A and B are shown apart, each in its own frame.
Chain A
Amino acid sequence: MKQLNQDEAKRICERVIGFSKADECRVLINGNRTGNIRYAQNSVSTAGLNENVQLTVSVAFGKRQGTASLNEFDDKSLEKAVRRAEDVARLAPENPEFLPAIGKQEFRASATFNQDTAAIDPEFRAEVASHSIVAGRKNKLVTAGFFVDTTGFETIANSNGVFGHQEFTNLSFTCTARTEDGRGSGWVTRAANDVRRFDAREASAVAIEKALRSVEAKALEPGRYTVILEPAATSEIIGRMFGAFDARQADEGRSFLSKKGGGNRLGEKLFDEQVNVWADPWDKDVPVRPWDSNSMLARERTDIIKNGKVASLDYSRYWAPAAGTAT
């Protein structure tokens, strides 16, 4: 099915909400067209193209909730999705932690779409792989890599008047270059929403240089060392670390952010004062959607670690009032 524009998506949301007989109705539509190419041993191994648009409907009768999803968009199918969600909701036990849908939100659009990225085709993907393979062969290295690009949209709506629609593009590339004797190896990763900021030659050259320079690498004894991490390595740590910034887990005593005797370590200085981490949906380098898809709340620029102090934890809508703080 083709990707939906804002008017088409809004019309579908209105139809879905109109069909619902439940106390409330929430709608999420995701669409994407994803192309990829994978190569190894200096040759393409697999390549493919997937396209899908999916509607997810969640309804509630009191504190009984049901969820349904489908990828057909005629009126009959839309009504079927609503009825199925309602059937599941009627069968579900009450969830004491259920919270009603939020009220209308103001979303400030972020620049997540790029036309040039949306125009990527199989020839372009083959060209990306070719740059890496050819450069690898020239250096007597074996390369393996993966390039994937997505063009898509997300729409959210609920029966309290929330509506948001945003289109997006993104691409990612990883490549591993190895010497034929297995002594040297290098890896690179790149991601962008604008293909003009991606250079397959530059990225491949980084993996190749690492492979060539690591041939004489020596084993280190365990111990304390000063370590310099490239951004790719730091981002791996950050990504895993913030999965543990859930306030409820901390308050319940099952997190490294739990405080002895109860409560959490929000506000404590746990890191070096040079450490500052924030989330910003409008960051020009890494824009993301200006809403949280689950809660449908508008996002704000948020400090997470400020001058080494824990500046915020992840509070769900249920846990925030219990803890006396904002979501």
Chain B
Amino acid sequence: MTEVQKIEFSPEAMLEVSRIVSHYPQDKMKSALLPVLHIAQNEFGGWLSAETMDYVARLLHIHPIEVYEVATFYSMYNTKPVGKILIEVCQTGPCCLNGAEKIVSYIEKKLNIKVGETTKDNMFTLKTVECLGACGYAPMFQIGETFYEHLTEEKVDMILENLKQEKLKAINN
């Protein structure tokens, strides 16, 4: 089932876009592209569809291709749908010295998915990412804007369960 979503920023998002655009000279609106894509991804289900990218191109008066090439270059932009909760585990050296690989396998087993996959209920997507600047607090993952550090299997269980309950509550309301 795919939801048909109208691609248009909420008034609050629109306000934020104008604030961001005002940071750059008037003829350099394209500079707002990265921050505006972050807003777009937040607004439209955690990923950037072609429609979303075209919409952003229109807003910033640039060609759609200029948006596509940026969206595909930067790893934080998802050009395919992701689950409601995107788990991004750091897999780089320093984290591996403190058990990052075990945390990844634990989550894979727990959610019964492999890295890169989404659970059947569309709740969780598991991704591995490169160093997030938390190497001293390893192992760690990022979900949304939050860093979860010094992870253990028990902590992972708790964090994921809490976030899932929150999401379910939000959906039911």
Is B truly associated with A? no
